[in-house]
């Protein structure tokens, strides 16, 4: 007689209902506690007669001095509370750069250029082909004009031309959407890791749009793909101390100067993954903007692992043995990213997770410490805290790892995968292409919460939490997905044979 297998309780429908009941009970514990108490009070009052209620009211002695003092105390406490309360930061609008068709790099074009640029090194060509086959990129990603030459011309002039094209196009679109004038902007923050000219890129924007002389401008470089959220964090801090202000945040990566023409495999990876892109975001702390703003900024959590040598050097710009400069990606990158993510979610978890998930995590932690260290650690269900996830589209491996670790569904990571497929890794601006995808699909509703997660050199893992202020209607004006969102999602095979 064959042995009977024990039932699979992990997939049991009854167990799922038990978990839902537990979540409902814990998350609404105060409600369940207060409703019977309020019902008892109301029932007691209803049972009293008119004479008893009148005598009860007459028994309450009100002293005029006490009433005045109590009123003043309430006013003082209310004033202190509203003065100490952080200002609400609104995301009014954002605009994204959509490269022209002439910049597109289909697989065939990329590989042909790779062969012509590496005629004496067929192994490098074969390596790039294998990476591209497994990258998750599509046929419509774009590279700047300088990279279309054979060989590429990563000159200062070409780099500046790319930066101006991407940044000015994004800012023009943003100003048109919002109707604000350049002189209305009080704070300007530009982040771009690989290209840091003199004068700075923020000065370039001030010059182009003839902004005010007292504008507070900042230029961030060398901070990797997570620099976009660092810029958001900096803008938030500045808006807390400068009332009635607009902050313009520009996130981009200039690809032209980062092209690597050597043979080191770890340095050839960025050639295969990084593509053109940029975003311009308008933030405000003006109360009158709350009605037209798309999102409210709820939290920003930053994690820096730079104290560890391996983490510091896992994304490292250096020269190869032949003296050719490039960015090297370490084999330990995914492990280091996982460690940084763990630290980040440990910080953000208590801020966003419902009480039911926090209690389960706490009980599991105590059980492992006290009873059995081999107990499997409980991974909080972040789907209870967020409706949408924008995971940095750094590559297929990054998205796969986060989907597995956070136990997300295919729909939760759809925006990240489709952004990688359509636009490639656009560095710090990729999160905004993902958010735009969710909007273009008509999935963003009022009250929805969005979690943006980005990784960057150093090594950093940064998170931002947004709450949708109003339902986003489709089609979204000026969206880079406007002419192609109907084709998505698409099936992305594990390997695309070239």
Active site residue ranges: 225, 304, 388, 392, 421, 425
Report the DSSP pairing between strands 90-96 and 278-284.
antiparallel
Burial 281-317, CB ≥16 within 10 A → b, else e: bbbbbbeebeeebbbebbebbebbbeeeeebbbbbee
The runs of H, that is alpha helices, within 179-284 are 201-209, 227-241, 265-273
Residue 447 CA to residue 386 CA, distance in Å, equals 10
Residue 115 CA to residue 125 CA, distance in Å, equals 6
Burial of residue 208 (CB within 10 Å: 0-12, 13-18, 19+) is: middle
Residue 109's Cα: distance from chain center in Å? 32
DSSP for 322-338, please give it.
TS-EEEEE-TTHHHHHH
CA distances (Å), origin 67, targets 54, 55, 71, 79: 21, 21, 6, 18
DSSP for 418-437, please give it.
HHHHHH-B-GGGHHHHHHHH
Q: Is it true that the peptide bond before 168 is cis, omega within 30 degrees of 0?
A: no
């Amino acid at each position: 007689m064959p042995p009977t297998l024990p039932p699979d309780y992990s997939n049991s429908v009854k167990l799922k209902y038990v978990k839902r009941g537990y979540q409902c009970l814990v998350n609404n514990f105060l409600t369940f506690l207060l409703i019977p108490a309020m019902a008892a009070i109301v029932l007691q009052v209803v049972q009293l007669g008119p004479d008893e209620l009148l005598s009860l009211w007459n028994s309450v002695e009100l002293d005029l001095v006490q009433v005045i003092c109590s009123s003043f105390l309430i006013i003082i406490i209310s004033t202190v509370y509203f003065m100490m309360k952080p200002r609400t930061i609104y995301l009014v609008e954002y605009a994204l750069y959509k490269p022209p068709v002439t910049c597109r790099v289909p697989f065939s074009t990329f590989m042909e250029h790779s062969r012509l640029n590496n005629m004496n090194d067929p192994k490098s060509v074969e390596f790039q082909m294998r990476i591209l086959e497994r990258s998750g990129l599509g046929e419509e990603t774009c590279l700047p004009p300088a990279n279309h030459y054979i060989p590429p011309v990563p000159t200062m002039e070409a780099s500046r031309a790319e930066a101006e094209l991407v940044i000015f196009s994004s800012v023009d679109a943003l100003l048109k959407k919002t109707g604000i004038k350049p002189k209305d902007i009080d704070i300007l923050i530009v982040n771009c890791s690989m290209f840091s000219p003199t004068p700075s890129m923020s000065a370039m924007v001030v010059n182009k749009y003839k902004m005010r002389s007292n504008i507070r401008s900042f230029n961030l470089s060398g901070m990797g793909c997570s620099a976009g959220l660092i810029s958001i964090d900096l803008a938030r801090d500045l808006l807390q101390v400068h009332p009635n202000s607009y902050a313009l945040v520009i996130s981009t990566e200039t690809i032209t100067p980062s092209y690597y023409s050597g043979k080191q495999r770890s340095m050839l990876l960025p050639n295969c993954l990084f593509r053109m892109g940029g975003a311009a975001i308008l933030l405000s702390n003006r109360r009158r903007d709350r009605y037209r703003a798309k999102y409210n900024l709820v939290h920003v959590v930053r994690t820096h692992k730079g104290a560890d040598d391996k983490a510091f050097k896992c994304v490292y710009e250096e020269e190869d043995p032949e003296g050719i400069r490039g960015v090297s990606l370490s084999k330990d990158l995914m492990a280091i990213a996982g460690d940084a993510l763990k630290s980040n979610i440990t910080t953000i978890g208590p801020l966003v997770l419902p009480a039911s998930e926090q209690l389960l995590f706490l009980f599991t932690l105590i059980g492992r410490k006290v009873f059995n260290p081999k107990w499997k650690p409980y991974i909080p269900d972040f789907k209870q805290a967020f409706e949408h996830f924008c995971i940095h589209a750094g590559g297929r491996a990054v998205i796969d790892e986060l989907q597995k670790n956070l136990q997300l569904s295919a729909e939760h990571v759809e925006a990240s995968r489709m952004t990688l497929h359509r636009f490639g890794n656009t560095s710090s601006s990729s999160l905004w292409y993902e958010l735009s995808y969710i909007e273009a699909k008509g999935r963003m509703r009022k009250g929805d919460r969005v979690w943006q997660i980005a990784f960057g050199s150093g090594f950093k893992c940064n998170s931002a939490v947004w709450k949708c202020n109003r339902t986003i209607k489709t089609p979204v004006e000026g969206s880079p997905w406007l002419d192609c969102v109907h084709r998505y999602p698409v099936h992305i095979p594990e390997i695309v044979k070239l």
